[in-house]
Structure 1
């Protein structure tokens, strides 16, 4: 087993080295300039685990379109949806190596690489979409993206991910119905503690395994935004949604810092601005999909229960919020200042 693991790591490193040595489509002196003195052309890859028509993928494609347009076709970014290049964890590892140049990922797993991101996953800290985006457009939120460089990743922009809610194969008429249920969560200490505070049993597992786990009863439910419940077909097994809007954790568009550092300043600026300019397209697509998903789920017989009073929930998770925010008071202050 150790020998196989070593060979796998060696293969990844060799592949990353090949990418760094020859990601230009023209034979040249390396990243930045082709042999004839002209700026080199590149074809990069962007990994996304969502389906091709999902709002984050449409944002990815807008980003790729803008980069190609602004470099007169010199830099092309091919978008690979539906986890074609691997699950989130393996893709992140390859981004760090430079074997994959770009990815889009939810901010929650990024807390493993930069603890500051854990604040964005705290339950009930953002009271609305306006509150969230006021913060994401702040200087402090930009600092969070920049802080990923220490983990060999370059944060480019935030994408919308709506609010996360619970859904289950069993009836959910109130938060008390979550007690004792096995709920799938992303791999995050905050999520595990959060679910425990509500009396549920947190069950971390890859996103791609959730549908079969719902079918077989390995889990009783999960938590996610409505478009994800729709696109994943989880609603076919889990017919009950509890709208508590417990998290409004954004998505993050990332680039390998290894590749970023090899580009010249002009290309860096083009890529960064294209990422920021793709945000409005992604947000607009998100709003349309969210409305469409809610209608579809209701038409498919999914029941919705809105949690109208979140004060008891905020009280229940207060120890969790305090535990994970005590060392990040500056970020919490910025979140408070962003309230509409």
Structure 2
């Protein structure tokens, strides 16, 4: 009996000692992997790396995020799936390729859905933006803040575009999305989905007459060297998210969730400012190279031609009509 009691006391003492020893060990840092398609120095990259640094600092190393740039962890569709299943912890995603996963985000690819970048900010930072965040959360992606990707405009090798008639017959490269194809065709152009890396040579050889993108991409891709007319249609203004994997988010304490959310919002503010600065720099570079940039005083004729695109989209997605109306009436 005494031996049994002694053994129980010894076991209990050992258990307490082990528990106290475990409590005295430092908390193991959680290494987070972050996906980014952009190179070093790009506004999004700068903002993501600042986010990672500040989260590590403010959580005292409980979370140690690392950003992997240049799409080295896969292309965006792959990265979306990896983040949804928790293989990646965070990412900066454009909403354009998000449509096949989160149908609601296709609304953001409708041409002229936003009147301006400021309008997009107002929408995405408010109650409507929360509806998109809720839809992403249903697919295991927690959207904490919204980044810019600028306003996309048309550029070509032939002439300035002042009216829709100036688009007629032009072979225009678009991203691989039916909405973008319909947009160009509604303007009378010939839409050509094509890999981005093939565009420069296609413009140079005449396979394409033009394409569409924002200032930084137009400049950094060197497309301005062969397409000397840039027309500010600003037909697409597509936001991007700083998204966290739902599994990674739910593993955090409330305190750390608040830190991560605050730093994501700060990263968005930083990215937006850097985007403005970078866009202006790119604009000056292409102007200095001889590109002719023209404003379009009245975009109404372009917008009016998009009504069949909207009608077809709503016919296929009647549940999204209210969301579309909310955005279009919010400015």
TM-score (normalised: structure 2): 0.83
Task: Give the Cα separation in 1 of the matches to 2:180 and 2:278.
Answer: 25
Which residue in the other structure is 1:129 paired with? 117
**5 Å matches for 1:207-226?**
207-226=196-215
CA contact (8 A) 2:155 2:231 kept: yes
2:307 pairs with 312, 318, 325, which one? 318
**1:272 aligned partner:** 261
Shift of the alpha carbon at 1:165? 0.3
Cα distance in 1, alignment partners of residues 43 and 168 from structure 2: 33
8 Å contact kept, 2:128–2:327? no
From 128, 132, 136, the counterpart of 1:144: 132
Q: Secondary structure in 1 aligned to 2:81?
A: helix
Query: What SS is found at the alignment partner of 2:319?
Result: coil
Distance in 1 (CA, whole Å) between partners of 2:203 and 2:37 is 19
Structure 2 residue corresponding to 1:56, chosen from 44, 50, 55 = 44
Which residue of structure 2 lines up, in the alignment, with residue 202 of structure 1?
191
Match of 1:160 among 128, 142, 148: 148
Assess if the C-alpha contact under 8 Å between 1:135 and 1:334 holds in 2: no
Q: CA deviation at 1:162?
A: 2.0
Report the aligned-residue RMSD.
2.3
Aligned to 1:172: 160
Q: Tell me, in whole angstroms, the C-alpha distance in 2 between the residues paired with 1:104 and 1:170.
A: 35
Indicate conservation of the 8 Å contact 1:157/1:254, yes or no.
Answer: yes
Between the two proteins, the alignment pairs up a number of residues equal to 306
Match of 2:13 in 1: none
Which residue is equivalent to 2:3? none
Look up the match of 1:329.
321
For residue 209 of structure 1, report the CA deviation from its aligned partner: 4.2
Confirm whether residue 98 of structure 1 aligns to residue 120 of structure 2.
no
Alignment of 1:28-67 (within 5 A): 39-67=27-55
Report the alpha carbon displacement of residue 201 of structure 1 after superposing the two structures with TM.
2.6
